[in-house]
Structure 1
Amino acid sequence: MRLYRLSPDSLRFPPPTSALHDPNGLLAFGGDLSPERLLTAYHMGIFPWYSPGDAILWWSPDPRAVLYPEEFHISRSLKRFFRRSPFRVTLNQAFAEVIAACAERGMAGTWIGPEVELAYRRLHALGQAHSVEVWQGDELVGGMYGVSQGALFCGESMFSRRDNASKAALLTFCRFFRQQGGKLIDCQVLNSHTASLGAREIPRRDYLTLLSQLQPLTLAPDCWQPQTLSAVSVDSDPDRCE
């Protein structure tokens, strides 16, 4: 297998199955972050991930990390926290602020540079990228953003400025997404944080099959309109808890 250089004159990607094993999932480099190229990539199960200043790298790892919304895991301590949570959660009310906060969250090696911010803000303006915001009073304290693909949501990044704020974003979004007809959240690569919340790995071939099945499905009307989702509450929550 070899690493493909993308042509600036074509939106064509190599098949995800041709990605390298080491590093896992690296498929191609080059191209740009135009809305057309990004949407072509997500449609094929491919996403960009690279350090600012470097060539754009495109990935499709095997296995793939996913979260079924009904499998979101709430520990007893997290459930206790949410019972007295001060948070309010909204949808698509501060996309630019959320992606900027993800970029500046202070973690070494963050991949979200100005070029990436601009690209996903363009996708948001086209109704393809969405944000979840967590507020404490009038202060933005957490959130997440990603790209919609029918009944599948490709999560990109999240941030917290208060304890459990990003977990509040994901929990509330999981419930909302299920209610709207959503079936699966793509977490890309498993880490300890997403694993603790119920994400798991599946073979890339299974992910690509699910992607093709879920892309044509439509969610409830006005699903992505800016709105308040809820205050975080777990008292009537059917999700599993230990």
Structure 2
Amino acid sequence: MTRLRSAWESLELTNAPAEGPVAFGDDLRPQNLLGAYRRGLYPFPTESVEQRFLNEMLYEPEVATGRVLVLPGSRDPYSVAWCSPDPRPLILVEQVRVQRSLRRQLRNASRWTTTADACFERVVAQCREGRSERWLTDDLVAGLCRLHQLGYAHSVEVWEDGTLVGGTFGVRVGAVFSADSQFTLRSGAGKTAVVDLVRRFAEAGGTAVDVQQDGEHVRLLGARPVPRARYVELLRAPHRGTALSTATLPAGRLAD
């Protein structure tokens, strides 16, 4: 993808809010998406007219002071919030944890295998299935699928006898992988996908997997809060990695 000057290059995160949006703008084209991920942001669109109105009402004062940016050229800016939490929850690849219960399950899951990039669009579709507040809008899905075609976005799949039962996806920026979402159709399958992603990313020379939003479920996998400034440093660091392995592998290996 040709690198053009991005609107994100004018964004200064030093005084940006630690919670909630740091910017608004409705451009979900792949180039703008990639520019945002490279600067440490991720999109949170809404399809709700009420939520758009609420975004404008709540954040208008911070937009007026310049603390929250509205991207130029947006026709419906408050339909997409861009977030960059401070601190940011990261799983360092050498510190990923497999809970005892998941380890037991994996040792007995002889019918489970994992892959990468086998069916990116299906994984994204499953991640938004049945969600009433659907942040994975059609425009965002189109942008992410294009990033996948260009080699920036990736998925990990968990299979049971050839049936897709879990998965995760996200965007790779150098030594960091920003994991956007996951789904589970069998108990433990979503966590298995995340652990498998971390293992594959480590083998490809990655440093950390960003899970975007902190919580007990990601803490159990080894996620720890990192200051936003440090996270941005990791994104900008020179990196020479290899491609993510797409081999079909037994899920049981993750218990070791």
Q: Shorter-chain TM-score: what band? A: 0.7 to 0.9
Aligned-partner Cα distance in 1 for 2:96–2:139:
32
Equivalence map 1:1-242=2 (5 Å) = 11-13=6-8, 14-21=11-18, 24-53=19-48, 54=52, 55-85=79-109, 86-104=111-129, 106-213=130-237, 216-220=238-242, 223-224=243-244, 227-234=246-253, 237=256
Q: What are the Cα deviations for residues 123-170 of structure 1, in whole angstroms up to 9, with x where unaligned? A: 111111001011111211110000011121111000000010011111
What code does the residue aligned with 1:11 have? S
Residues 186 and 235 (structure 1 numbering): CA distance in 2 closer, same or farther, change over 3 Å?
Answer: closer
Shift of 1:171: 1.4
Q: Which has the higher helix share?
A: 2
Aligned-partner Cα distance in 2 for 1:155–1:229:
20
Residues 31 and 116 (structure 1 numbering): CA distance in 2 closer, same or farther, change over 3 Å?
Answer: closer
Question: Which residues of structure 2 form unaligned runs of 5+?
Answer: 53-78
Q: TM-score, normalised by structure 1?
A: 0.85
Aligned-partner Cα distance in 2 for 1:185–1:166:
15
Contact 2:116–2:155 (CA<8 Å) still a contact in 1?
yes
SS state at 2:45 partner: coil
Shift of 1:185: 0.6
Contact 1:16–1:46 (CA<8 Å) still a contact in 2?
no
Aligned-partner Cα distance in 2 for 1:107–1:195:
24
Aligned-partner Cα distance in 1 for 2:82–2:167:
24
Aligned-partner Cα distance in 2 for 1:211–1:64:
12
Q: What are the Cα deviations for residues 178-204 of structure 1, in whole angstroms up to 9, with x where unaligned? A: 111111111112122111111111111
Please identify, of 109-118 and 80-89, the stretch whose mean Cα deviation from structure 2 is larger: 109-118
Shift of 1:109: 2.6
Question: Which residues of structure 1 form unaligned runs of 5+?
Answer: 1-9, 238-242
> What count of residue pairs does the alignment treat as equivalent?
220
Aligned-partner Cα distance in 2 for 1:235–1:194:
17
Aligned-partner Cα distance in 1 for 2:82–2:194:
25
| Cross-structure match for 1:7 | none
Shift of 1:107: 4.3
Shift of 1:116: 1.4
Shift of 1:234: 4.4
Aligned-partner Cα distance in 1 for 2:15–2:26:
18
Question: Structure 1 vs Structure 2: percent identity of aligned residues?
Answer: 36
Residues 77 and 19 (structure 1 numbering): CA distance in 2 closer, same or farther, change over 3 Å?
Answer: same
Contact 2:103–2:255 (CA<8 Å) still a contact in 1?
no
